[in-house]
């Protein structure tokens, strides 16, 4: 478990609960929610003390997005409790935009992560964070002229 409680939780298919532990390890933990047993754990590189969120895709395989709202770091995790391995990709928005929220699309075959930046622009990232496209251009920020208007 986590020594100092949990920052976020979410259900995962078929009978897992994924939790994000707090200080000092900030670990993602996969639990079997039926038995209450811990199945897998990995320490994460995002160490924001309180403001972190996770979102779990509904796709197969599933992906977990982790956002540190203080640091602006966003990761997409591929977690596999059997045999027990994990990898992650860092999501870097164009022009060093800082992500503030995210959520997965309901697509089963090709999940997309929607990301909102500090100015209200919306981006889509594929599951590998290799293709990131701004799809909504916010008109509410004073610095929007620094951004290109999408075609």
Report yes or no: 28 and 10 within 8 Å, Cβ to Cβ: no
59-90 pLDDT, tens digit per residue, is: 988 999 999 999 999 999 999 877 788 999 99
Report the distance separating Cα 16 and Cα 27, nearest Å: 16
- Residue 86 burial by CB count (10 A; 0-12/13-18/19+): exposed, middle or buried? middle
Residues (pLDDT < 50) of the chain are 150-151
Within a 13 Å sphere around the CA of 68, how many CA atoms are in the beta-carbon half?
A: 18
Does domain 6-146 correspond to CATH entry 2.130.10.10? yes
Asked if 21 contacts 2 with a C-beta cutoff of 8 angstroms, the reply is yes
Helix (H) or strand (E) holding 63: none
Strand partners, 31: 17, 38
CA distance 47 to 115: 20
């Amino acid at each position: 478990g986590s020594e100092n409680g949990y920052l976020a939780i979410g259900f995962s298919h078929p009978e897992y609960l994924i939790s994000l532990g707090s200080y000092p390890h900030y670990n993602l933990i996969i639990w079997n929610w039926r038995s209450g047993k811990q199945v897998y754990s990995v320490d994460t590189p995002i160490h924001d003390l309180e403001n972190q969120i996770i979102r779990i895709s509904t796709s197969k395989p599933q992906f977990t997005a982790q956002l540190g709202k203080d640091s602006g770091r966003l990761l997409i995790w591929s977690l596999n409790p059997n045999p027990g391995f994990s990898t992650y990709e860092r999501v870097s928005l164009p022009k060093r935009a800082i992500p503030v929220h995210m959520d997965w699309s309901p697509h089963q075959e090709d999940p997309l992560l929607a990301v909102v930046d500090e100015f209200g622009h919306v981006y889509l990232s594929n599951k590998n964070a290799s293709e990131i496209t701004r799809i909504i251009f916010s008109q509410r920020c004073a610095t929007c002229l620094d951004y290109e208007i999408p075609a």
